[in-house]
Structure 1
Amino acid sequence: MQESIEPMFADSRQTSSINLEKLVSRVADYWPSILISVLVALLFAFGYLRYVTPQYLVKARVLVKNEKTQAANGALLEELGMTPAASNVENEVEIFKSRLLMQQVVEDMDLHIQYYIPGAVKNTNLYKDIPFRLKPISADSSIRSYSEYTITKNGDKLIIENGGKAITAAIGDTVVLSQGRFVIVANTNVYKDVNEFLVTISPVESLVDSYLGSLIVEMVNRQVNIINLSVRDVIAARGEDVLKKLIEVYQQSNISDKNEIANGTISFIEDRLGFVTTELTDVEKLIEEFKKANKLTDIEAQSRLLLDNTGTNLQELTQKEIQLRVLESLEKYLQDNNNMRRIMPATLIGEDITLVSIVSDYNNLQLQRQKLMLTYTENSPQIRNIDVQLEDLRLGMKNYISSLRRGYQVTVNELRARAGMIAGDIKQVPTKEREYLEFSRQQHIKQELYLFLLKKREETAITKSATVSNLKIVDPPRNAGAPVFPKTSRIYLMAFVIGLAIPTVRIVLKELFNNRVSSKSDVETGTSMPVLAEIASAQENQTIVVRKESKTVVAEQFRALRTNIQFMLTNEDEKVILITSSMSGEGKSFVSLNLASAIALSGKKVLLLELDLRKPKIAQHLNINKDSGFTNYAIGKADTKSIILSSGVTDGFDVIPSGPIPPNPAELIMLPKTKQLIDQLKPLYDYIILDTAPVGLVTDAQLLSPYADATIYILRQGYTFKQQLIAADMLYKSGKMKRMGLVVNDVEMKRGSEYAYGKYGSGYYDDEITTSRFKVNKFIKRK
């Protein structure tokens, strides 16, 4: 009695080990719920696949042809001290991604107008197989909002409904809808028996964004000029047509870019032809007036001999002067800031390879800039980079043309000097003939320049007519066949995994974060105390399960507990058994009553002393008078004989109820009369069971432990905390309570669990054993 009583939870250590085998076993216990979860997930997957709209992937491959070797261009630009332009194929990839091309595709194919067959769950998307089409008359860009129209066939008429308003029209009519004016045109109809259709009209920009989002344009690698194109669409045929149209629009744009160079050259030549024509006409008028004024008739014959002598020198001088005039024109063209973003005339350059290459690169960069401007702004790094390259090429051309012009000027001066020497030989020619000769020379120069320009204009026109795109289709657009979305096998696999994972994760998390004793491994981990018995769940509303005629699993387990206790208490004077637990609700009173009944059925006399003075339940369960009991005896108001009552369960089973609830239970237990009572009862009974208060909450059980010969500690599966079991183990190791043994109460009997008595007990006992735990609100609290 003088031993120090320590708090039960002085040590708060907890076990944190994770038993994988236990987790697997617990998951296996829930296999019906896991199976149901998997089946439900697969059912959802089936419904999803049944009603989701599949998507098809359409692919194409194109080759971008280089008009000249990129390496040669790069080497030439490096010689001139300039940076080569970016890869041609990379630029074409960006052009394919441009909004302008896709917008033209959407508008040309009227993709913003889509047709459906209404369905109960989903609408069926149509493309070519519809009896009519709406062709917009107003600009597609004017459509700013989304609208739906229900169109019903009624004989040869179509009833168009939107927002409660209906319009009746026929094929070929023009109708005014909320989105603008449309013409109804006939189309091939596959669905002869369908009379109701749904038509949606969306803003062009939304469809452009949608298709650009599904469009993939990528280079195969940097060693080849092949581009892979792919697009997703819910209708495979429409996806193929979209890619075909995109390639067609690109080719048209590419040809247009090339023709822009030819058009610029032709425009420049036309301007020069007008100027040269005027000069030639003026010279011819001067010759005509000179002949009339001087009455010359055969001056050509008179001067032919002199012209023949000077022909070679004059022809060379004329060619050089023509080239000099062309270079001067090009130089003025470059100096004009209005031409900074225009194409350079390419066919007038002549045979100078360097200048031809520089002008060609300059024009290509101008075209690339125009294409990139469809996607980027003036201040973007891509445009700025091209502007820097154009400025470098422009400066290089200016310097090179200036150098060429100076060279041609020197040559012309030399030829003119030589002509001056020849002119000395002509001094003897009469004055009128000499003047006419000068007019003839000017006429000849203008004629040669005029013929040169005419020739270049025809060459440019021929080149323009033969212009082809630099794109070659390697593989035409083609659908892969099966939908790329959804993947049936993947969806079912995901559903199976999700259906398996949700309950499994729930069970695993429940086990990982479970802080209550739920398995045999928890008991073995939490304490080294011997387990005297494992008591299965009893049937609902049944407090006394051990009777003379009972042959249930629970009754047999109490009989086994009785046997183990008999082995523990081998001496005749060892009769007192103390029963306690960690907290209320663990079945302490239930075990006390049934253990006492089991001992009495073996022919022994047993007394159950109710010493849980705070929450007594024994008298209530046995339906006996609780007005007089241990409390009355302790305070001297009753004797031993008057407080001993028959349990009414079986012969040899007596009870001393607790009596009225005292205000000071612990002090009452510490009175000497407690020991006196137990000493008086020992000669009268074979066993005395002390039903005490939970040791984890109050000190009553520890105060009574000196009077006991053995201690039974009750643990309830799924109810007792693991920390409480650790505290009980500390109490066991301290030796403050004699011969402590553990009884695991309310054990589940599920097949496959660690306490699975049902797997080998079913059919051996007479009574049917329930295998499921009862709800908390229906469970009889055992104290």
Structure 2
Amino acid sequence: METEQTSQVLTSNVRGRAFVQPPIDPDEAENQANRGLNLRSLGRTVQRQALLIAGVATLVAVGASYLAMREPPTYEGDFRILVEPITTEGRLSDPVSLTRSDGGVPNRDVFAVDYTTQIQVLLTPRRLNQIVQDVQAQYPNFSYENLVQGLTVQRLSVENSPDPTRIIQVAFEGGDPGLVQKVLRVTADRYLEYSLEDRKTRTGEGIRFIEDQLPAVEQRVSQIQDELQQIQQQNGLIDPDLQGGQLSSRVDDIVTLELQTDRDLQEQQILFANLQRQLDNLTPEQAIAASALSEDPNYQALQTQLQDVQGQIATQSSRFGSNSPVLRSLEAQRANLEALLSQRAAEVVGPENVGNAQVQAFQNSVRLDLTNQLVTARNQIEVLQTRLREIQASRQQFEGQLQQFPGISRRYADLTRELEISTQTLNRLRNQLETLRIESAQTEVPWELISDPLIPRDAQGDPIPQPSRASRIVIAGAALGLILGTLLALLLERYRNVYYAVDDVQESIPLPLVGVIPFSRGAKQSFDFPSTFSTEEIDDSRLGTASFREAFSDLYSNIRLAEPPIRSLMVCSAEPGDGKTTTALYLAQTAAGAGQKVLLVDTNLRLPQIHNRLDLPNTKGLSGLLSNDLVVDDLIQRSSLADTLYVLTAGPSIPGSARLLGSDRMKSLMDKFEMEYDLVIYDTPHLFGLTDASFLTTQVDEILMVIAANKTNRTVVDRVINKLTMVRPTGVSLVTNYLKESNSPSGSSLNRYQNVVQPRQNQIGGRL
């Protein structure tokens, strides 16, 4: 059994113990990186199932060979068509040049072909059915399926040339050379006809399209022209850009004039207020009335007479009494003059101003001049106000036009642009219509048949068949057989769902692997070999036994070198029959042979085996210690295998004895054992389906789970480990045990493992 990974470290954290992790080996890291592809797992599967894969591959290859022998001969011919001109002369002579090159050498883009699309068009059912109908005139049994199966249309490419050719190669393959020749000839004729019909069809469709589009485009051009004319007439537009600038300048001039008029108006209003204040706040009408009275001679004469009469009355009043006839005559004269004055004033200034002292007061030349200025200022104010109102009205009018002008200008520009585009479209459509009419009149075939439809023939003129596909069929059959065999092998291993080798265990379980036990005949019966030895001193007949014993020496070394030391461990397995009892026995013997005082405890109270393997009595044992008050030392027996190996058998089975493993009595016994022995090993029942060993998982320093290669079920192991790690996240390690000689490593494999083990142990230097 291989021991390649026996030096891997136990990374447990047991009852407060913390262990040092070993450095990662570069080779191991590379192996882990490669596991992501599962190539090694696939290789191991192929190696294990080589006979199955070879058998399936052989059967499929034989079937393919039988089919290859029945393969009839086939014949293949082809022809080639040039679909684009390749020289300047060819491009100049092409009819398309007359309409698309303006008299010069046409560009290659004029003749460019989408080859992928063109080939798909050539392979449409419509084209192929025409070919089938023509061929059926001579070969009635020829069908559409025969044509599709044998016809190949592709763009010809030259090896080592970066650019493909402008040639389409058409080939047909069949069992009748005459039929092949007929199909090639009909296909060539049909494809050449198609090239001419396609051009005519395309030009005809283009002509119909343009003729359908022309009326709408012409109508659109006419509508735009009418709308432009209407805008020009309504808004007087000739040059919108120039007129827009002129309108903006005119608005600026009006605004300037409005500001000047407003300033003049304000100045005249200030002058008028000052003059009116100087004339005692007379209104212009009152000032005019006062001036008129002052300049009226009649009024002034009456005023003079009244003053004379008043003077006389004043003189006579001092001489005569109030009833004097003289005074009465003078007063009557004064009253008459006052009436005349009032009457004259009413005639001159109007009745409303009669009695106004300011109006009837005498106006000198200064006041008369101020009155003239006041009247002039008022007149100027009225003129300026009238002018300002007219200017403001004009400004509003032009500003309204200016606000509307951008919209009108934009609409005019949009219509002008649309007219230009529509006119260009109309011109292009008319030019293209004439071009297509010229092209539609052409009758020359656009494509050129540069290679006639032919089948290769020998010197006698007989058709040469295609090389046989038998070898390819056989190779394909063999490859298919290998693939089917591999798939069948993978399905078989998936169905068995077991670990076949130590590599499978390492790839599937993320726990440290600390031991690999090879197969050994008589391992269950024989313990008769030394505990330490060198493989160089053993002959070939005992090499298997030596390898078996060396594997346990490596396993014990991993346990021995742990820091802090491991004082107790339990050996368990997921299923019965995985070799846990054998592992526990030989591990105990190896440790005892190394000089340690070892106690082997059989905790399998359901089906104990230790006493049978060591030929010891089992009348009393662990069950008695747990159920009765017995003395421990009286029940522990010394083994004949080594002086320092002691055994505590399971004892007779009693009802409920399995539950006693979780009792306080068991815990105290385990503590006592650790104090008295260098190493205590517990052989437990299998874990799947039983809870016996679960009581011990948290009480030992380390747990060794034995997995039997080619036997232990993967699903069972996953369930057990998941349950085990929930109770104890660390301190669980794996041992792979080979129960069959067929898959057990030996010889060079073991030497390779042993060469790897020692350097790794030296690197760790303590706890592995």
TM-score by length of 1: 0.41
Q: Per residue, is there more strand in 1 or in 2?
A: 1
Q: Greater relative contact order: 1 or 2 (C-alpha under 8 angstroms, separation 6 or more)? A: 2
Q: Per residue, is there more helix in 1 or in 2?
A: 2
TM-score by length of 2: 0.42
